[in-house]
Amino acid sequence: MNIAVIRGDGIGPEIVGEALNILNIIAEKFNLKFNYQDVYMGGCAIDKFGEPLPDVSVKACLNSDAVLLGAVGGPKWDLQQPENRPEKGLLKLRNALGVYANIRPAKMFNALKSACPLRDDIANKGIDFIVIRELTGGIYFGEHFINEDKDFARDVMTYSKLEIERIAKIAFETARIRNKKVTSVDKANVLATSRIWREIVNNIAKDYSDIELNHMYVDNASMQIVKDPSQFDVILTENMFGDILSDEASQITGSIGLIPSASLGADNTPWLYEPIHGSAPDIAGQNKANPIGTILAAAMMLRYSFKLEDAARAIEQAVNKILDEGWRTGDIFDAKHDDKNKLLGCKEIAEAIGERI
Ligand code: NAD
């Protein structure tokens, strides 16, 4: 299994380094072999090649079986022209890989209930759902127009049957290995794209009679996520709604340092795995970063790209265990609400996870 490794900028090299240490432990335990190839993207690529994602990096990613990414960007490159900023590298990479489905779990760890901003009676019911967001269509990729006087602008939202069908299938397949419920979120009372979205999702649902499907307007969904998140299993939605709802969903679980994401595409192309946070330049190089989001992204890679469910679960269980035991990095350290909290650095918490595996 060949993995393209993008360490990136800021805390990227630290958190990716720890995720690779965990993968090496998994390789030993499950008798697997992972080959890693380092790939430059982001600020470090601008420094070395003069651009955020040189062709040589694209090629290396396309030749791999999966791509593991830390994070890119930082103040050093803030004055770059917009088309040459580190984050452009990420957009170019997503495009090159053709990844059209972004999968983001919103899971609250029992040990971290005190970090949940919701009322205790809501948090106690548990939060464990997945947002599946369409990633390459919709208003972000339609025409963007501003007139010369800058007093009129237009953004165009489009969706095709094919785009809706392929993302809907991923949602139903995901629900099948979870709690068998899909909530499709749209704005079908106003938008034409949402009206065909709803019809096409209903059609796909006919092939998944074991899965319960309901539809929800996006304004209601944003309210229900904070009112009763336990009602959700898989949320399926388009690009912009998913962008907003997945951020809301990650916030109610506590820390952004803990959440992974996967971006999936066609069967014959490599898929992309990364934590949801940025490069955290404020704590870079200080052994303070939380590597768990990246370690869980590596677990998603084992599950989705390599179909190694047992290995993925071994990582997730080890993460649960060290959190239950009270081990914390600074971002989730909360001695005020929990006197059993013990503070560890990035390296040490990853070592603890490795030992539990
Ligand atoms: P950020 O996510 O990097 O940081 C926000 C806050 O969360 C900071 O206080 C940071 O210290 C903390 N934080 C983030 N990840 C953490 C972790 N793993 N452990 C502990 N604390 C963590 O967002 P930002 O400050 O808005 O952006 C910083 C840089 O990252 C910018 O250049 C931005 O463009 C870039 N960025 C990159 C990505 C990506 O590579 N996918 C995503 C978002 C932002």
The residue whose CB lies within 8 Å of the most ligand 1 atoms, and thus the one to mutate among 41, 90, 277, is: 277
Q: Compute the average pLDDT of residues 79-88.
A: 85
For residue 280, the CA-to-ligand 1 centroid distance in Å is 4
What 8-state DSSP symbol labels residue 335?
A: T
The pair of three-digit structure tokens given for residue 130, joined into one six-digit string: 């997945």
Q: What is the pLDDT of residues 116-128, one digit of tens each?
A: 899 999 999 999 9
Q: Compute the average pLDDT of residues 329-354.
A: 90
**Checking DSSP bridges between strand 128-134 and strand 234-237, what pairing results, if any?**
parallel
Q: Which domains does the chain have, with CATH numbers?
A: 1-98+269-357 (3.40.718.10), 105-256 (3.40.718.10)
Q: For helices 346-356 and 292-304, what crossing angle results, to 10°?
A: 40
CA distance 311 to 314: 5
- Of the pLDDT bands very low, low, confident and very high (cuts 50, 70, 90), residue 152 is very high
Q: What percent of the chain has pLDDT over 70?
A: 100
What 8-state DSSP symbol labels residue 278?
A: -
Q: What is the pLDDT of residues 10-45, one digit of tens each?
A: 999 999 999 999 999 999 999 999 999 999 999 999
Can you give the pLDDT at residue 250?
85
Q: Which of 232, 264, 272, 269 is nearest to 249 (CA)?
A: 232
The pair of three-digit structure tokens given for residue 45, joined into one six-digit string: 């690529």
Q: Which amino acid is at 168?
A: A
Can you give the pLDDT at residue 110?
85
Can you give the pLDDT at residue 217?
98
Q: Compute the average pLDDT of residues 62-71.
A: 98
Q: Which amino acid is at 133?
A: R
The pair of three-digit structure tokens given for residue 242, joined into one six-digit string: 């998913």
Instruction: Out of 243, 288, 334, 338, pick the active-site residue.
Output: 243
Q: What is the pLDDT of residues 315-328, one digit of tens each?
A: 999 999 999 999 99
- Of the pLDDT bands very low, low, confident and very high (cuts 50, 70, 90), residue 348 is very high
Q: Is 334:341 a contact under the CB 8 Å cutoff?
A: yes
Look at 310 and 338; give whichever has higher pLDDT: 310
Q: Which of 220, 219, 242 is nearest to 231 (CA)?
A: 220
CA distance 99 to 195: 24
Residues with CB under 6 A from ligand 1: 11, 71-74, 87, 90, 256-257, 274, 277-283, 289-290, 293, 331
Confidence check: pLDDT of 333 > 80 = yes
What 8-state DSSP symbol labels residue 142?
A: S
The chain-wide mean pLDDT, for the chain, equals: 95
Q: Of the segments 106-120, 159-173, 238-252, which one has the largest average pLDDT value? A: 159-173
Confidence check: pLDDT of 191 > 80 = yes
Tell me, yes or no, if 339 is annotated catalytic: no
Q: Which of 9, 96, 47 is nearest to 271 (CA)?
A: 96
Q: What is the pLDDT of residues 235-283, one digit of tens each?
A: 999 999 999 999 899 889 877 899 999 999 999 999 999 999 999 999 9
Can you give the pLDDT at residue 340?
81
- Of the pLDDT bands very low, low, confident and very high (cuts 50, 70, 90), residue 79 is confident
Q: Which amino acid is at 235?
A: I
Tell me, yes or no, if 243 is annotated catalytic: yes
CA distance 86 to 97: 17
Can you give the pLDDT at residue 288?
97
Q: Is 138:238 a contact under the CB 8 Å cutoff?
A: yes
Q: What percent of the chain has pLDDT over 90?
A: 87
Can you give the pLDDT at residue 305?
96
Q: What is the dihedral of CA 337, 342, 347, 348, to 10 degrees?
A: -150
Q: Compute the average pLDDT of residues 133-151.
A: 93
Residue 277 CA, closest ligand 1 atom number: 2
Q: Which of 101, 67, 56 is nearest to 274 (CA)?
A: 67
The pair of three-digit structure tokens given for residue 341, joined into one six-digit string: 């909290």
- Of the pLDDT bands very low, low, confident and very high (cuts 50, 70, 90), residue 50 is very high
CA distance 7 to 131: 25
